[in-house]
Structure 1
Amino acid sequence: MKRHAEFGCCTEGEKMTDPKFEARLSVLAGWAREAAHRGHPVPSDTDLETISRLKDASTDQVDRQAVEPWLPTIQWLLKQAAFGVAAPHQQLPVELAQPLGFTEMAVEVAGVGEPEPVEVSAAPAEPSPAVPDAVPEVEVSLVDVAPAQKGEAEGTVTVVAKIKPATAQSKMPKWESDARESVKAAVKKFAKPLQSLLERDANEGDTRLVVTDLLCEGLGYDKFRDLTTEYMVKQDFADYGVRIDKQLVGFIEVKRISQKLNERHLRQVQMYAVNEGVEWMILTNGQVWRAYHLTGGLPVVVDMAFEVDLLGPESVAEKAEKLFYLHREALKRRKIDDLWKHRAATSPEALLDILLSDTVLDAIRKEVKRNSGISTTVQDLATVLRMEVVDRKLIAK
């Protein structure tokens, strides 16, 4: 088994020209070091670099035998890296913390004297249990043999082993795997129609036709049950009202494909959402999709959950990973919540509030004193940060 002492064996040119590649590789490297430390076999650093470059763990350019057991884990890590999450392996879901099909078990074996290689079996006083006719093949690898601990019977031996069933199954629910496949297929299928619309500068009506097809074929919406076109909001009309299980959950505003999405368009769909009391707003020109969350109150708070360019340079897998959160089944289960909450918590405005808080300013004051011997006040530090460090446009907000 190869231990990963160092990763990141990309060229200097890649480091300088593709920070996203570097971020993906750093995320995978951090995870691999920790997994290897726990005794798990992990993909080689070359395979991790290839996955980081292609942004897809399902590629045939890597050692499939090494990568396959970790496929859901690596795809999850790539998704977190795409949204800027640092060291996501530290919050790895339990089911992704070990390769598919591996479980750990500890067995106590009665013995005498110093620990020796033992065969795990039932206690001598008990009859051996009947073995089923069909027993699946398993791979067992010894991890550790430990002598009796304090409080245990003398001669007790603890055997820790890894047991891998002959077949390993993904933990991903069927609805999710089906939805992801549908979105990925749609990203591929609609690339050419969208490019054609862009090249001929199609009008808003033609753009809306393609958007409707993508919503229905790729994102799982029924055009009669889930989508209401020209949804009336007071004296205006939203392009689409989106219903899930008969409940209005959001609005979609469509612009012609050549038109750049802007703040005016956002204010338009925001007005619809405020008036109808819904929390999701989607702006699109067919090529670019932006999803926003609206939190009611005075004033209302609008946070972008994600943006994806279906004709942009990202891989199909990366585009599909983002667009998946607008799939009917994903939106129904509120899979998108973590995205907008993370984006809101790390927005420039939120970080500025933290930076200018008394707790942080006092810590900076102490650090200035320790480094320079000069005493200052939190008020002076706040003034310097506002006037000379932070972007004035951000302060104005």
Structure 2
Amino acid sequence: MKTQVAIIGAGPSGLLLGQLLTKAGIDNVILERQTPDYVLGRIRAGVLEQGMVDLLREAGVSERMEREGLVHEGFELALDGRLEHIDLKGLTGGKTVMVYGQTEVTRDLMAARQAVGSRSIYEADKVALHDLKTAAPYVTFEHKGETFRLDCNYIAGCDGFHGVARKSIPEGVLTEFERVYPFGWLGLLADTPPVHDELIYARHERGFALCSMRSPTRTRYYLQVPSCERVEDWSDERFWEELRRRLPTEQAEKLVTGPSLEKSIAPLRSFVVEPMQYGNLFLLGDAAHIVPPTGAKGLNLAASDVNTLYRILVKVYGEGRTDLLAKYSEISLRRIWKAERFSWWMTSMLHDFPDNDAFTKRMQQTELDYYVGSEAGRTTIAENYVGLPYEDIE
């Protein structure tokens, strides 16, 4: 088998890259270890930055998003029982975010890929990457009991934190930066109406809470819990009761409860590797970086990686600009570290850290009061939340 770009992983970043490359006339093949149903079964983020929304439009997969997605012009910070509104649209010159689940993004991208007959190979086992530092890298894999070789020009590693792409880079090449937080997010998905028409990020002495949504009839709520907690110990009743305690009184009284469709606990961590490329292998998304979900940056950072690599490859194949390949990591990391900073800041400000002393807690409170009490502070929050601009590829 031959292709121009081999994409490892059929999550949203791999599929979006494939869709954009296909529209640009650049041949690509996607290899995925799991089944399509497994990929669609992952419950993930649902807040899309302005830049990702525009990129999905450019990729030609925005029709259902435009029809079913919820445009949000702001969000709420619940601090000490009061709501502080962050006017995203007003503070950023008209930019907004879109509430549209990652599962739906993935579904739309799968359908678009199938419609044009682009090659996606699911249940690809024993994927291995070879000759990454040469001009002729290739991938070997097994599928339905047969062994295959896929020759290509470039490999995009979109296979997540535990995938084969990053592990294929020799030891000593990458520098890892990591912070593990002493708590996780207990998430509950339910077919209930949202408690508020915008997202609520709540800081409370009992711990952080988030009121999010997937649609006008499906909600996603989160509670900060110690990292040692087990999801089995949290009945629906216990979850709803604790959520009420952490919300302002008016919102707690409006909360509509119901049976959970799914409950899970996600650990929180910050992680970045440098560089994000090795020879003709390029890392994208969770293969290269992870952010705490507090700032809604995980999926959006993957999209910005896709944007950077896609635009570089268009210039490589269209203008012979192979010099740009060496700039992928540098360009991507500039935006990644700024998003890591914002996610770290949101996490640090809104969560209860068990080891914080009285002085640190007072500084945490004062920092928040300063930001929400200043138009400049609110603007900083807003411009980071809607997403910093993508860097031009020159």
With normalisation by structure 1, the TM-score equals: 0.23
TM-score, with structure 2 as normaliser: 0.23
Report the structure, 1 or 2, having the larger strand content: 2
Relative CO higher for 1 or 2, CA cutoff 8 Å, sep ≥ 6?
2
